[in-house]
Structure 1
Amino acid sequence: MVTAILTLLAPALTITLLILTLILAKGDICPGQRGRIHKLFPAIGLLWLAIASLKVEAFLVVFAIFYFYSKVKTGKTRDKGPFWVIHLANGFGLAFSGIVVSSQATLGQSIALLTSGLLLGSAFAHLLLVIARSRLQAFHRILPMSGVILAMAFALIFLVNAYQWPEEVAQGYLIELLMSFVMLLLGIVCWIWHLIRHTAPEKRQLSFAFFCLLSACVGLFRLYAFM
């Protein structure tokens, strides 16, 4: 299970870092928000450090992230810091994720890993933005709605591939399959709950949503071994 989680986190963290980079580069954010976003980079770096237990190449992303963090202020600041380093981290992350995605056993599994990476990366980026008290309201709408589309695509891709299962295999893993889809649905509903209620998103809400989505993706991704 740990290997499955770390495999899913590689493309997910790449997407998260790309979203944060976009916000730091193009977002209309105040000095306080920029500093709070800078504070998020160690968490991303530590998760990449865990991924390095799978492949040592991930250390390149870790070094780039922590070097960037060491050169920027975490208080109120308008200084973007050495942005070429964060672009380098994005490049390393994209290359690493591309290798992980392309090295999967089947094309369906590669597509599922890519889709789940987009889904989890968007959810994690949204959680981090709420932790940083971001005022970019557009992202509080765009990220959840894109998550709905990605979740539908991920489920559809899995069902198309699962159609090839022998009947006895499908019956044997029916409970795991249903539990994963329930978690996927629960995660999406919780993620968009603030849109339904017309309220501001909360950390507890998005943390629970991310946990549900991660559980669902890990559960379904592990079932690809039986296809």
Structure 2
Amino acid sequence: MPSLYATLFVSLVSCSALAFLVLMLVLHKGELCPGQTGRIQRQLSTLVSFITLAGLSGFESQQATWLVGLVFASALIGWVLTFKINKLKHKRSLNINLWWLMGMPLLLAATVVLLQHSIGIFSFIACAAAIAHWLMVKAKHRLTSFDKLLPFAGLAAAMCSLVAVCIYLVLNQTLLEQADTVKHFVVMSSLLLLATLLWLFPQLKKTAPPAPLLLAVAFISFISSLKLQALHV
């Protein structure tokens, strides 16, 4: 079983990178007023915190030096951009392309990590979508279509994740003979389904999703991704 720091590194890098892509898609393609753009950019500082934690986890788990270096480079650039945007007036924002300076080393590191843990990509997508949705709601966005799109994207990713893991376990029968594997699979799938149901609840009630609920969804999805790695996949 991989160490806690190693699993944290994989999940934090992957989920942060994918959430970054979602937010950049919103910033580039969403019909945002200057105030919304500024608020969403300020939420990227939360991702910078996650990236920093990823770098520290990578250092503790003795990941490849160049890989940890990419993550720390992304975090450093992110903190610089966070400082710059916090110096601006409330409705002002940075040039969107500047955030790609933070994103490129992170995305490169995430590509390497995802290639090594490809079985978990759908789980990471679900978690990243939840994180991005949480940050958008915190930023008081007005893109109501994303309030509908992201939960269903998360549902699709969660279902694909469960199917992929089931296929993997069927193809590796020796894993099914281990009690710990079955235990981790049950916990992982239960958490992922719980997160998805919570995420869809506002849709069923036809209400706006509250930020605390989305934080819970993101956290539960993240724990599920950690449990997935404990399956020796």
Q: Is TM more than 0.5 here? A: yes
1:28 aligns with 2:31: yes
Q: Offset at 1:161? A: 1.0
CA contact (8 A) 1:14 1:97 kept: yes
Q: Which runs of 4+ in 1 moved over 4 A?
A: none
215-224 vs 139-148, which moves further: 215-224
Q: Which runs of 5+ in 2 are unaligned?
A: 59-67
194-203 vs 89-98, which moves further: 89-98
29-38 vs 6-15, which moves further: 29-38
Q: Which residue of 2 aligns with 1:101?
A: 114
Task: Give the aligned length.
Answer: 217
- Work out which of the residue numbers 55, 62, 75 in structure 1 matches 2:90: 75
Q: Could you say what the CA RMSD is over the residues aligned between the two structures, in angstroms?
A: 1.9
- Work out which of the residue numbers 170, 173, 177 in structure 2 matches 1:165: 173
Q: Offset at 1:95? A: 0.7
- Work out which of the residue numbers 178, 188, 191 in structure 2 matches 1:180: 188
Q: Offset at 1:188? A: 0.4
Q: Offset at 1:222? A: 1.2
CA contact (8 A) 2:78 2:99 kept: yes
- The TM-score normalised by the length of structure 2 is 0.85
- The TM-score normalised by the length of structure 1 is 0.87
Matches within 5 A, 1:1-227: 1-53=4-56, 54=58, 55-72=68-85, 73=88, 75-77=90-92, 79=93, 81-102=94-115, 104=116, 110-163=117-170, 164-166=172-174, 169-224=177-232
Separation of aligned partners in 1, 2:18 and 2:175:
36
Q: Which runs of 5+ in 1 are unaligned?
A: 105-109
Amino acid at match of 1:97: A
Separation of aligned partners in 2, 1:203 and 1:10:
23
